[in-house]
Amino acid sequence: MEKTLPPAGKLWLVGAGPGDPDLLTLRAARLLASADLVVHDGLVGDGVLALIPAHVERISVAKQRSRHTMKQELINELLVRETLAGKQVVRLKGGDPFIFGRGGEELDAAREAGIACEVVPGITAAAGCAAQAGLPLTHREDASAVSFVAGQCKDLSDQDWSGLAGHGRTLVIYMGLASANAIADKLIADGVSPDLPVAVIERGTTKDARVLRTLLTDLGDLVVREKVASPALIVVGKVAARADALDCLGAPGITEIMGNFA
């Protein structure tokens, strides 16, 4: 008798975009409709999750600061195990899989296990949120370079951010709310002007989005004063003054300084 080979499974690392389901790629939407299993992050918007058919199995591996539903090593094992079982597995990640999404680690695990894996890019939060806020990350008058950094890192003070913010540059900080004060102090200590414009984009691309603008010296106070909640992005640079945002200036005399960038 001929042996029946198990069905060939495949893993797809799919970017869900910054939240608005209309920003999901067509390919991502098709994969959600044909998947056997969707393993998704907590940052994936409800509107995107609503596109998953009812018969498709779902597993949430939502992460919060200092608290993980499932450690990354276990997520890797889950993806490999289910794919080896012959399933079409969609690993659905907020934003883009390769920008602070640990997609590289999951791709490494797939390669090591010898399973087929394909990456489907998504609109990263920086691009999606900035677009909604009318904030050009580059501008011929203000910025010719953009850098993305993660603010939620161990030993933040040891990270080398020199040259990432300042004249002609835009710095976008993911996961930086909890360390906003330290971020401002770090950048100012590195020589960035305290009066450089900053925009904070909360729940970007969703109907509840909020865009706040201040100066670097006021960043930490702004986050506390306005009760900014995650998910949120911090954009540092002259382009932040171009955002469609609410001016939230809290330090004495800071309004006059901001007027120079209007």
Confidence at residue 252, expressed as pLDDT on a 0 to 100 scale: 45
DSSP reduced 3-state for 24: coil
Residue 227 bears catalytic tag? no
**What tens digit of pLDDT does each residue of 168-218 get?**
999 999 999 999 999 999 999 999 999 999 999 999 999 999 999 999 999
pLDDT at 251: 47
Active site residue 63: yes
DSSP bridge pairs for 118 = 12
pTM given for the model: 0.87
Taking residues 236-258, report their average pLDDT: 76
CA-CA-CA-CA torsion sign (112, 113, 114, 120): negative
Q: Which of 9-18, 33-42, 68-77, 205-214 has the lowest mean pLDDT?
A: 68-77
Q: Catalytic: which of 41, 96, 142, 218?
A: 41
Name the active-site residue from 63, 185, 190, 195.
63
Render pLDDT for 81-137 as a digit per residue (tens, 0 to 9). Answer: 999 999 999 999 999 999 999 999 999 999 999 999 999 999 999 999 999 999 999
Residue 6, pLDDT score: 60
Asked whether the bond before 53 is cis by omega within 30 degrees of 0, the reply is no
